[in-house]
Chains A and B, each alone.
Chain A
Amino acid sequence: AQKVTQAQTEISVVEKEDVTLDCVYETRDTTYYLFWYKQPPSGELVFLIRRNSFDEQNEISGRYSWNFQKSTSSFNFTITASQVVDSAVYFCALSEEEGKLIFGQGTELSVKP
């Protein structure tokens, strides 16, 4: 069965600290896609990154970076020098079929000034 686990329910950091959000997934398929989404208080889920199962290269986008390790079935997300605007709920998700994402329970990040 497909499953996504985000063990951290809530994280609180002070501005400018680095923070890593963990994501562990389970799937029997060899071809799959992983995603991260951000949900600010407005409710809209904002797409951050997509990674396919054949691409284990880590990615950096500004203050955001992602570490994909197939050997441990993990797809962790790091925010460097966090800012108050980063406060939101972050979701990791797994996709095996069109339009169907399996979401983790989400990690609520609170960045305090």
Chain B
Amino acid sequence: KAGVTQTPRYLIKTRGQQVTLSCSPISGHRSVSWYQQTPGQGLQFLFEYFSETQRNKGNFPGRFSGRQFSNSRSEMNVSTLELGDSALYLCASSLTVPNSPLHFGNGTRLTVT
């Protein structure tokens, strides 16, 4: 079974631009979550989607948004990029059984210059 796939692996953007990251979950997984990892703040929850609906959201500004498609694939978008948005963005998928373990992708390394 293929794991969680995130594209692209690396991205370099300029302040003020916007970026879209993509995540394909494990087949059969309908819940997709996004996390931001930085050296200073560690791993922080961004949001979680299930059946195209956002069920949970972390404490991030509105510049961070996401969506999920009918095939469970998900995208997250960051608008008006700031230097502090440089981070590893991790996507995870899980089964619909409550509190199933999250299975993470390799992440997208975003650098904002």
Contact = CB atoms under 8 A, between A and B. Distances in A.
Given A33-B99, A45-B92, A100 B43 contact: no
A6 to B, nearest CB: 10
Interface residues of A, number: 24
A44 interface: yes
B45 interface: yes
B48 A35 contact: no
Given A45-B90, A91-B43, A98 B50 contact: yes
A58 interface: no
B107 A43 contact: yes
A45 B56 CA distance: 21
B61 interface: no
A103 B97 CA distance: 21
Interface of B: 3, 31-33, 35, 42-45, 48, 50, 55-56, 58, 88, 90, 92, 94, 98-99, 101-107, 109
Interface of A: 33, 35, 37, 42-47, 50, 52, 91, 93, 95, 97-106
- Of all A-B residue pairs in the complex, the 9 with the closest CB atoms, nearest first, are A99-B48, A45-B104, A99-B33, A103-B43, A47-B101, A33-B99, A44-B106, A43-B107, A100-B45
